[in-house]
Amino acid sequence: MPFPKPEFQNNNLLRNGSLINGNWISAAKETFDVTDPASGSKIATLPEQTSSDVEQAIDAAAKAFKTYKNTTPRQRAQWLRNMFNLMMENLEDLAKLISWENGKALSESRGEIKYAASFFEWYAEEAPRIYGTTIQTATASNRVFTLRQPVGVCGIICPWNFPSAMITRKVAAALTAGCTVIVKPDSQTPLSGLALGYLLEEAGFPEGVCNVILSHKNTPACGLTLCESPVVKKISFTGSTSVGKILMKQSASTLKKLSFELGGNAPVIVFEDADLEVAVEQTIASKFRGLGQTCVCSNRIYVHSSIIDKFAELVAAKVRKFTIGPGLSDGVTHGCIINGKAIEKVESHVNDAITKGAQIIEKGGLIPSLGPNFYAPVVLSHVTKDALVAKEETFGPLCPIFSFDTLEEVIGYANDTEFGLAAYIFSKDIDTVYTAAEALEAGMVSCNTGIFSDCAMPFGGVKESGFGREGSLHGIEDYTVLKSVTIGGLPERL
């Protein structure tokens, strides 16, 4: 299968440098390459920035904050609406950028851009609705009310698996609240972030309000600069739990505000009374979205013992119909894995489960005829409870199916992890659904559907999957501080 190179209608979206204070900076002592994970070919060469560059971006954001925080909510709403419109006008080009640098199928990339843009539309509508409260006091001569004010300069550190949506979900909320931002996209997928930076300028946001910095080998140092800066008042990070813990330690010296969306190990529970066709379709939609490379992908599929064999065969039959190939090629349903290290983890989980007695329903595996990063889905059944995949997030196309018999038993299995991001339930019985939804230790529980992403829904986890919420009306709260104002010595009420 050929590896097509995308053609763009708007070549202005292709940026070759970082964005600091309205200036595009491509000069640097060192550079790093961005490669297409499907073909392995070089896409772009970008500047390797240092801590001093990050400090310049922080200074620019701090200066811009002094005036941006005083813009009216209606003005910010207009800029946010402009950004939504620009993203939709450039949807096809933005989607091609994602597939080019991330490897996912173009159909999935189009979906990501629509989802990413929706946050600007949602927050354009929410901007004028950041409310305070009035409070009844014990002292008759006092009056108390609260204000929600922007927290300040925010560091936004994003992953490669959703190179547009993970940026917009954070940035839209921050800009709505009146904050300014420094965005650090992943070095594997920086082009989408740079394109968004360009469009934010076109949408009308003032210079310095949104800055995009780039680094590869200097990423730890750049992250440290953001975390330790007393000027940066908030860090928002999506990525691994291990990195989240490092960032949390680094931020302790300034006690800045944090919100983390970290690792997952999402259970799917299919009860014996579930609509089997729906359960199979939706489990596949969850498990193989991005070829399993999302934080909310189902990682452990628990199926009642009375239907496990039928369920496994139905999943395998549908998986065999996937068309795997370069994400930019016509007809491809699923693209490639991001890199060789990710494939090694999938292979280790597959081999471990088989060694411990799992049944192979669909062998899957590497597809060397396409390239080193292509991997067909593996479906295993009757996976044992001591398998690595029961404890660790695979982040790839392995579908491990476990057996259970009772509600109490499976809730125990599902909660036996330090993670708690997403969980899924399939049952026609409302008592079962409600009981399980309350008992599951997860920030999000999806019932009878495998895809729940929506800008109106609070997104986030519990336990070591992080804290804070993105999207919805609650998403603004993480970018504000609550101030109480007391006015004393007032006359008695008439």
Q: Catalogue the active-site residues.
A: 261
DSSP assigned state of 239: S
SS3 content of the chain, % helix, strand, coil (to 5): 40, 25, 40
Instruction: Extract the tokens encoding 424.
Output: 């899924």
CA distances from 472 to 77, 122, 173, 199, 239 (A): 15, 8, 9, 23, 21
Contact 466, 258 (CB under 8 A): no
How does DSSP classify residue 305? T
Find all residues with CB under 8 Å of 325, minimum gap 6, and list them: 1, 331, 332, 335, 370, 374
Query: What distance in Å separates the CA atoms of residue 308 and residue 310, rounded to the nearest whole number?
Result: 6
Using the structure block, give the residue that is written with the tokens 């997403």.
422
CA angle 59, 166, 333 (to 5 degrees): 145
How many beta carbons lie within 10 A of that of residue 214, not counting itself?
A: 29
Q: State the Cα–Cα distance between residues 436 and 237, nearest whole angstrom.
A: 29
DSSP 146: E
Identify the H or E element spanning 285. helix 276-287
For residues 196 and 15, the answer to whether their CB atoms sit within 8 Å is no
Least Cα distance to 478 among 73, 57, 170, 77 occurs for 170
H/E/C letters for each residue in 221-282? Answer: HHHHHHHHCCCEEEEEEECCHHHHHHHHHHHCCCCCEEEEECCCCEEEEECCCCCHHHHHHH
DSSP of 318-345, one letter per residue? HHTT--BS-TTSTT-SB---S-HHHHHH
